[in-house]
Amino acid sequence: MERVTVRALHEMKRNGKKIVAVVGWDFQIARIADRAGVDIISVGDSVGINLWGRENEQDVTVDEMVLVCRAVRRGTTRALVSCDFPYGPFQQGIESAVAAARRLVNEGGADMIKVDGAADFPEAVAAIVRAGIPVFAQFGHRDADSQAAAKFVAAAQRLEQAGASLIDFIHSGPAAGPAVVNAVSIPVLGGLGGGPWLDGRLRRVDAAIGYAFAALDAKTENYANVAQITLDALTAYAEDVRAGRQIK
């Protein structure tokens, strides 16, 4: 099966074909998402909070992202693999950022590097692109309304000029979202509140399938409730063991 490329994603935007992207953190989920036909698997530094139980995703290191990205890469044959750039290297300067990006590609197997808050680091984005590494640039804010549209359009255009290949416009809104989509030639996806007015959607797998513990006690917008299925299965397993019924 032919692997998705940045060029293919750009062609999808030109043809009006929506891009499907998910955030995943492990080999098994990557294999399942890949078979489902998603176009991008984004390895998020959200792994720190949502999979490892940390309080702050900024504690995630480059070494850890290399390991998680490598696991996702092993599980894919078609999807493009994007890997989040952890917080630390950008605070240490552009040279450190480029060196870390190279590690995520060369050691982690990423096809693309995702930079959160990219609008604040256009010079670093440009430096990573000059190193031959595609950049998935994230920006946005909850106030992405019609009054803020011009600001977001300008930020998106700066990122495209810096060489970004893809944009994740979070909390885009129905006014600013279409304005940004129409202002740049690169695909604009939406995570954290992105809507159908964008070129595609990015969503965490655990949120989409109801895998998180919170899905047990709250109604969430998901396509399944894997947490409840898992709880029921493990409860039945525990009952079998305690009753001496090891039949499964």
Range of 44-48, 65-69, 140-144, 226-230 with top mean pLDDT: 65-69
The reported pLDDT for the residue numbered 121 is: 81
Q: Are strands 135-140 and 166-170 parallel, antiparallel or unpaired?
A: parallel
Domain boundary assignment for the chain: 6-209, 210-248
- Cα–Cα distance, 115 to 161 (Å, whole number): 15
Which pLDDT score, from 0 to 100, does residue 142 have?
A: 66
pLDDT for residue 58: 83
**Strand runs (DSSP E) across 65-174, as ranges?**
80-84, 112-115, 135-140, 166-170
Within 10 angstroms of residue 215's Cβ, the number of other Cβ atoms is 22
Note every long-range contact of 67-71, with CB atoms under 8 Å and residues 24 or more positions apart, other chains counting. 67/108, 68/25, 68/26, 68/43, 68/108, 69/43, 69/104, 69/108, 69/109, 69/110, 70/107, 70/108, 70/109, 71/25, 71/26, 71/27, 71/30
pLDDT the model gives residue 144: 58
Q: What is the pLDDT of residue 148?
A: 79
Q: Give the residue, 104 or 53, on which the prediction is more confident.
A: 104
**pLDDT category of residue 145 using cuts at 50, 70 and 90:** low
pLDDT tier for residue 69 given thresholds of 50, 70 and 90: very high
Superfamily of domain 6-209, CATH level 4 = Phosphoenolpyruvate-binding domains (3.20.20.60)
Total-model pTM: 0.92
pLDDT at position 247 is: 67
- The whole-angstrom distance between residue 43's C-alpha and the CA centroid of its chain comes to 6
Between 146 and 34, the more confident residue is 34
